[in-house]
A and B are shown apart, each in its own frame.
Chain A
């Protein structure tokens, strides 16, 4: 029998601690240039998201925004493992996955600021980042829908036998919505090349995921119901993510169907800009901050013989690119009001009557 938590218990649930780093991942024969790319993407996401946060505080970014600070290793691992013609389907927490596919930072930042030089000309905003030319097939802000949409892209790949894979990222909270179950089942029965990636950051918005799922691993423990392997990985270790991503992508390309991967991670901030994240036990936050993916990966690269100066150079380069993006975004013109009436239809217009 379950008992209802009392008011006083809010934020006092048992902390969930990160697993120890699997040192064997360092021994995995990942090419050095791939590891440098993993490091670079993580730095790009980290510095971009920090800057985005600063720009909220300055009132330059309106609306809402969901940052991936702390979750960079997942985007990096998949970004580095995916083929350029693979497809990414992200959620409203999609800056990281957009950056990880090589989309330039200026149009992303400008989109957050609602400028004409934004990735979608200011018509989408933070939650809908899309760059078809980079395989970023949209960021979707209604929980669950894009898992179903990713299947459609995977279907095209299967239909045309192109070996392309559709990868859908989503949070732990998504595992409770019907579309998740419909999509995973559909992908399996149609044997589609879809990779479903659950970023389990332990909180469904403000609520501990353990309060709202009856199993320990919200995605992996449901995998068996759809004939899929149960996979839980360390989402804070870019090597672990890269290895799991490569395996799942290869399986999908070979025509062996979908995978469901649960990557454990932790948000360094609240759910969105409105949320200070006070519902999380302090000792839990402390433990996960200790397992910050970026310093950990920095240490690993040093151990593997990469020079500190090389890593510093990457970080400096990224910082400069973020500054350029900030400048170009803040100097960007506001969208023309004509944009209101464009692209409802494929002919570019919005006409609904003669």
Chain B
């Protein structure tokens, strides 16, 4: 086992895939020479050369268009959109072009590409550099959506995304970049599977389903609640599309209670879909209402205390579960 930050894991994952397949190419703004604004891509240019690791202008439509055109003609591009908020300026390429072109052409084309992007709050950047937009992506038929919460998952799911024949939107969380994790010593050979959730803490009383930064928070909340006698099972969803509903439904059958912890704003957040599935298919397993712990339906404020109070905190998770788990 080696200790690795999530940021270093991303670099390692990219290097692993660039080494694994000579058709893998990586582009974005400031990703090559500068090594990325989050320093998640240093050394790749030096290691793989300017033909495969290439800087692009501030032109998100051009970047994703290039990735799409390259994917349909035989390359496996990884394109970085620096902040996930910037997806809004190239959403046409994502939602109208990449997601739909295989379907519209009756399967004539495939788009083996990955869009990596830094998502989420915690950096005090304000409402245009801190959003959690995974729910935007989830509602578009034709793109897979992944958001790892640990270093090992970052490598393994990135590899799975790059090797997948379909387009994948890969959300990295800005606040997890500096966190350290144990990673097995299998550098160069860590490959996970899309569409699989993971039970990261087993429990018997309630099920908490979380994503990305909300996973470590849910785990911490679970520890606190354990001290109070509430045994929490925590599921890291990891992949919104495809969605591992079996894992969630099985857990709910065991615990009879479901909480989602979502950083995206309330309306049409990913947890709404999870709640709807559980309500439809596991209603008689439930002992109480499903509860969604989300960012309220507001843009994100910038000041530290405001931002902290806006996205779901360990305290909010603990309080919500404590109030209702035994009710």
Measured CB to CB, the residues of A under 8 A from B are 87, 119-121, 123-124, 128, 130-132, 137-138, 140, 142, 144-157, 159-160, 166, 178-179, 182-183, 185-186, 189-190, 339, 342-348, 350-354
Contact A151 B75 (CB under 8 A): no
Contact B65 A151 (CB under 8 A): yes
Contact B245 A343 (CB under 8 A): no
Instruction: Name the one of A123, A145, A353 contacting B93, with C-beta atoms under 8 angstroms.
Output: A145
Contact A182 B73 (CB under 8 A): no
Q: Which of A138, A142, A342, A352 has the most CB of B within 10 A?
A: A352
**Which residues of the other chain, B, contact A179 by a CB distance below 8 angstroms?**
61-62, 65, 92
Contact B97 A140 (CB under 8 A): yes
Contact A155 B93 (CB under 8 A): no
Contact B93 A350 (CB under 8 A): no
Of chain B, the residue at the smallest CB distance from A351 is B242
**Which residues of the other chain, B, contact A344 by a CB distance below 8 angstroms?**
102-103, 141-142
Contact A138 B101 (CB under 8 A): yes
Q: Which of B56, B70, B104 has the most CB of A within 10 A?
A: B104
Contact A352 B242 (CB under 8 A): yes
**Which residues of the other chain, B, contact A343 by a CB distance below 8 angstroms?**
102-103, 106-107
Of chain B, the residue at the smallest CB distance from A119 is B106
Contact B165 A159 (CB under 8 A): no
Task: Name B28-83 residues within 8 Å CB distance of A.
Answer: 51, 54, 56-57, 59, 61-75, 77
5 nearest A-B pairs in the assembled complex, by CB-CB distance? A152-B69, A148-B65, A346-B165, A343-B107, A182-B59
Taking the closest CB of chain B, its distance from the CB of A118, in whole angstroms, is 8
B110 at the interface (CB under 8 A from A): yes
Taking the closest CB of chain B, its distance from the CB of A257, in whole angstroms, is 15
Given known A145-B97, A186-B66, contact A130–B92 (CB-CB < 8 A): no
B244 at the interface (CB under 8 A from A): yes
**Which residues of the other chain, B, contact A350 by a CB distance below 8 angstroms?**
141
- In the complex, given contacts A138-B101, A155-B75, A182-B57, what are 7 additional A-B residue pairs having Cβ atoms less than 8 angstroms apart? A120-B106, A132-B109, A145-B92, A148-B61, A153-B72, A183-B61, A185-B57
Given known A151-B62, A346-B165, A352-B241, contact A156–B73 (CB-CB < 8 A): yes
Taken together as a complex, chains A and B put the C-alpha atoms of A13 and B195 apart, in Å, by: 58
Contact A137 B72 (CB under 8 A): yes
Contact A160 B74 (CB under 8 A): yes
Of chain B, the residue at the smallest CB distance from A133 is B108
Of chain B, the residue at the smallest CB distance from A194 is B69
Taking the closest CB of chain A, its distance from the CB of B285, in whole angstroms, is 18
**Which residues of the other chain, B, contact A155 by a CB distance below 8 angstroms?**
66, 69-70, 75
B25 at the interface (CB under 8 A from A): yes
Contact A182 B70 (CB under 8 A): no
A-B contact pairs, 16 of them (CB 8 A): A124-B105, A130-B108, A132-B109, A137-B109, A152-B68, A155-B66, A179-B92, A183-B61, A190-B54, A343-B106, A345-B166, A348-B107, A350-B141, A353-B242, A353-B243, A354-B243
